[in-house]
Amino acid sequence: MNAITRLQISRCAVVSGNRLAALIHLNEYNHAVGKPVMVRYTDENGNTDTITAIGVKSGIGKDCYSIISYGQEGAVGNVFFDVLPDVSSLVHDIPYIGKLENKWCVFYIDNSNARRQSRELRDGDKFYSLADSHMYYYNGKDIFRDDKAIDLLTNRLALMSLGELQVNLDYQGKILRPGESVNRPMLDVSVLDVKGNDLALDCEYSVVDENGDDVPCEIFNGKLLLATTITSDKEYTITAYYTNSSSETPIYSSGKISFEYHTPIIYGRVGVPQTLEYLWDEKDSFTLTFNLVNQKSFIKVPSSWPAFKHIYDVNGLDYIDEYKVTTIDDWTTYEKETAVTINNLIQTFTR
């Protein structure tokens, strides 16, 4: 039959008045390596609770023991949101929460009255404050108290009610001729919630190009300015972030915009020296308007382009068989075979 051994844990005969007093007692206790010790205290409800520690080296002081069980999780003396108090008002070797060098940290005051950082806070950390008997939570950015949790929930529900954001982007000169450049383009941007409200001016933005490189950006005069110069085909992914509270994680959505270089279409009237140019993104179709007085219309496109299959007028009639197609070197010409007199002849070219 196996014998049952009772493990005796050293404990203070007196029940401390609160957790702070219990921690002070642990700091003053003469610890031994591997020796457990338990300190009892009276909690905020008048009940008796315990803190259990084990010695990590022999001696007196905070560095001689490690706490293996709090009565409640992560007890600290206080949480300071503003300026840290004078060290003379803090208890030695008791952990506190505050900002050191603008970062939320656990710190304590050593025997030389110097603040010592234990560590930076991590997302999900929570602490019980001995000063006000409240739990505090860290969400990776801010600290909030347990009685403020409903505010965070309200903020989150308000964000969720916006639905999935829709990011719309445009720029008037995003189709470019070879050799042209665009310096610091200012994009039209809208960020619409599910009800159609535009949140663009309340968002923060990040921009990356197709290579994953970051592009600086800012909202300027109601537009999104990209701090870059475009000299070749580029595609940008733009992410908009919106939040209604500094302590709330933003919702976000992305959109894309492309800048493309294309050889322009040349068009006009046969026998007339003046010609016009039209920049086409080579997608879908394009429409041109001709004013003819007993004249023929024509267009010239790069010979590398696929042939047009249809040329429609406004009534949907197909004129493709009325155009003569000739390819010379790098250009293909579509020329109307019959001269006509028509004002505002609208022709839609499709592949």
Ranges of each domain in the chain? 10-69, 75-154, 162-261, 265-350
pLDDT at 183: 96
Q: Which residue has the higher pLDDT, 158 or 276?
A: 276
Q: Which residues contact 74 (CB under 8 A, 6 or more apart)?
A: 125, 126, 127, 128
Three-state DSSP at 212 gives coil
Contact 118, 97 (CB under 8 A): no
Examine the pLDDT at 155 and tell me if it is beyond 50. yes
Provide DSSP, 94-153. Answer: --EEEEETTEEEEEEE-TTS-EEEEEE--TT-EEEETTTS-EEEE-SS-EEEGGGHHHHH
Q: Which fold has domain 162-261?
A: Immunoglobulin-like (2.60.40)
Structure token pair of residue 328: 């010379």
pLDDT value at residue 14: 78
Which 3-state string (H, E, C) describes 226-248? ECCEECCCEEEEEEEEECCCCCC
Query: Which among 191, 266, 265, 257 is positioned nearest to 230, based on CA atoms?
Result: 257
Which comes out higher in pLDDT, residue 3 or 295? 295
Q: Please say whether the beta carbons of 301 and 307 come within 8 A.
A: no
- Pick from 31-35, 150-154, 334-338: least confident: 150-154
CA 123 to chain centre: 17
Determine the 3-state secondary structure of 19 from DSSP: helix
Is the pLDDT confidence value at 71 over 60? no
Cβ contact 108:117 at 8 Å = no
Its sign, for the CA torsion 303, 305, 310, 313, is: negative
3-57 pLDDT per residue, tens: 444 445 566 677 888 877 888 888 888 988 878 888 888 876 677 877 777 787 8
Say if CB 59 and CB 30 are below 8 A apart. yes
Give me the mean pLDDT over the 175-189 stretch.
Answer: 96
Q: Judge whether residue 163 has pLDDT over 80.
A: yes
Q: What is the mean pLDDT of residues 299-306?
A: 96
Per-residue model confidence (pLDDT) at position 154: 67
pLDDT in tens, 223-273: 999 999 999 999 999 999 998 876 667 889 999 999 999 999 999 999 999
Residue 149 has pLDDT above 60, yes or no: no
Give the three-class secondary structure for 158: helix
Q: Mean pLDDT in the chain?
A: 86
The pLDDT tens digits of the residues spanning 91-123 come to: 776 788 888 888 888 887 777 777 776 778 877
Model pLDDT, residue 228:
97
Can you give the pLDDT at residue 1?
Answer: 42
Element (H, E) at 336: strand 331-336
